[in-house]
Amino acid sequence: MNITKSAAASGEDASHLQAIAGHDADSYLFAHISDPHLSTLEGVRRRDLLNKRLLGYLSWRSHRREEHRADVLAALVRDLQQCRPEHTVITGDLTHLGLPAEFREAARWLSTLGPPEQFTVIPGNHESYVSSPWEETYAHWLPYLAADTVAATRADLFPSLRIRDHIAFIGLSSARPTAPLLATGSLGKAQLQALGRILAETGEQQLFRVLLIHHPPLADTLGWRKRLTDGRALRSRLEQHGVELVLHGHAHRATLGWIDTVAARAPVIGVPSASAIGHKPGRRARYNLCRVSRRAAGWMLRIEARAYAPELDRFVAAGRVPVLLQEDIA
């Protein structure tokens, strides 16, 4: 894709896009997107809706189908290809109702983005509206979900660990079927215990640990109906073992919080839906580019937000934040 031509069309300096896409040995560039809600749900069958999915379908009919747009998501993908991150993480909600057909559609979409080694996916609550057979759902995404070195099965898929350069991407699943009108998530004791071991091991390896979770781990981000039910237990693990960055979705808006850990004060960052046209204030599609580099005093994390500009039908720079994470990596 011609970076210079596309940047000129958006009024954005071509040199800026080229600078973003530039890779060097001392830093690593990755992108964070979330909640793309891919499917149009056209052709859904009545028998598919004889459960909690009926409420989700009515929500889609009433407003979600106007909010989540394929053209917005396509513009994000074009921008992502221009910026050329070395890795991209997707923190859940690729579907609306978790239908098998939606999982197949999402798998086809993922295959158009690039090889699974360059993309890490975790599930969201919309993937687990109801219990569904593994072979019809998550099995289609296994190359994007599984850890690098473990022959993952349905039982031990999470936490997942993918190491790229000096970055450890640690994926969690908070997706659980819930009662109607609830969108809560939970991790469970087994996943939390395994997370503690992974955080300790990757900390000893002096890796930059990026935790991926769909539900926000901070208690004040969302109300009780959408909360992470064992968020306190998760925060306790992070405080005890340390983490450098936490990325989440679910809130459909840009969020920034902090958690104090034994290693450093770590940012907790969420992004809006990757396909949202933005009918509500603060909900327009956005994603973040994160560049991590080592410094004598610790890690330097530079974050650039890329936001959808409807008048241009493309994504443009929407602010940059440098964060120095003070910790001993000597």
How many domains would you assign to the chain? 1
Please tell me the pTM assigned to this model: 0.91
Which residues 6+ apart lie within 8 Å of 244 measured at CB? 208, 209, 210, 263, 264, 266, 299, 301, 325
Q: Which single residue is written with the structure tokens 């009024």?
A: 11
- Helix boundaries (H) for the chain: 3-10, 14-21, 53-59, 65-67, 70-83, 100-113, 142-145, 189-204, 231-241
Those residues of the chain that have pLDDT short of 50 are 1-10, 328-330
pLDDT in tens, 262-292: 988 999 999 999 999 998 888 999 999 999 9
- Under a CB-based contact definition with an 8 Å cutoff, are residues 289 and 85 in contact? yes
CATH code for position 33: 3.60.21.10
> Would 202 be classed as within a structural domain?
yes
Segments forming the whole domain that contains residue 211: 24-326
The answer to whether 38 and 76 have CB atoms below 8 angstroms apart is: no
Number of helices and strands in the chain (H, E): 9, 12
Identify whether 15 is part of a domain: no
* pLDDT tens per residue across span 236-264: 999 999 999 999 999 999 999 999 999 88
Q: How far apart are CA 75 and CA 307, in angstroms?
A: 10
- Give the model's pLDDT for residue 6: 37
Closest-CA residue to 261 (of 283, 284, 235, 281): 235
Q: In this structure, is residue 280 part of a structural domain?
A: yes
